[in-house]
Amino acid sequence: MQQGEIELIELLKAGDGPAFKHLVEEHQDKVFRLCLGYVKNEEEAEDVAQEVFIEVHESITGFEMQSSLSTWIFRIAVNKSLERIRYYKRSKRFGWLTSLFGSEEKYSKYSYDWVNPGVKLENAERSQVLYRAIDSLPEKQHAAFIMHKVEGISYKEIAEVMELSLSAVESLIFRANSNLRKQLEQYYKVDKS
């Protein structure tokens, strides 16, 4: 950990407002994109990112500096994103009951209709198929894949975020790639016929 980061952490622990503002400005875009990679809805990603920084603010005094500050923030972002997905999956299971008494709109935010803003319109359908396949991965494979392929986070930092060994992360990403290849092969076989 570099001296500047240690000083920033000390300021944050002391409740320094400008230091927290600096932290948010430095990490907000990456945290937002990481959350967006999970929840597939810009409004939801903004909400989750805000929850991440609230958690950082409330928990900074307990940060023990055993990892870098960014690794700790990414860990919170991944956990908050997964919590949001689990919430919507649970809500969706009971959505049929809600539909008897009112609108289901609240439960339909987690959608496969989302298209990454960087994807051109003609690739939108392929993008949706890809994100569906990514979302079908087991949770740990999904988390490692999103962090590495979508956000470009190194295997080493993913290992720290997920509290796994480097070889475990390599294995997760290898299996994620293999699972995606199998699923997408099926799509392209059906698509070409």
pLDDT in tens, 157-190: 999 999 899 999 999 999 999 999 988 887 766 5
Domain 113-193 carries which CATH code? 1.10.10.10
Low-confidence ranges of the chain (pLDDT < 70): 90-125, 188-193
**Three-class DSSP category at 5:** helix
CA distances from 2 to 13, 143, 169 (A): 17, 27, 25
For the domain with range 1-111, which CATH number is right: 1.10.1740.10, 1.10.10.2840, 1.10.10.1200, 1.10.510.10?
1.10.1740.10
- The torsion angle over the Cα atoms of residues 173, 174, 179 and 183, rounded to 10 degrees, is 90
Tell me how far apart the alpha carbons of residues 48 and 143 are, in angstroms, rounded to a whole number.
16
Tell me how far apart the alpha carbons of residues 85 and 93 are, in angstroms, rounded to a whole number.
12
pLDDT of residue 192: 53
Helices (H) and strands (E) in the chain, counts: 9, 0
Domain residue ranges in the chain = 1-111, 113-193
Tell me how far apart the alpha carbons of residues 79 and 48 are, in angstroms, rounded to a whole number.
10
Single pTM value for the model: 0.72
Tell me how far apart the alpha carbons of residues 51 and 179 are, in angstroms, rounded to a whole number.
31
pLDDT of residue 18: 95
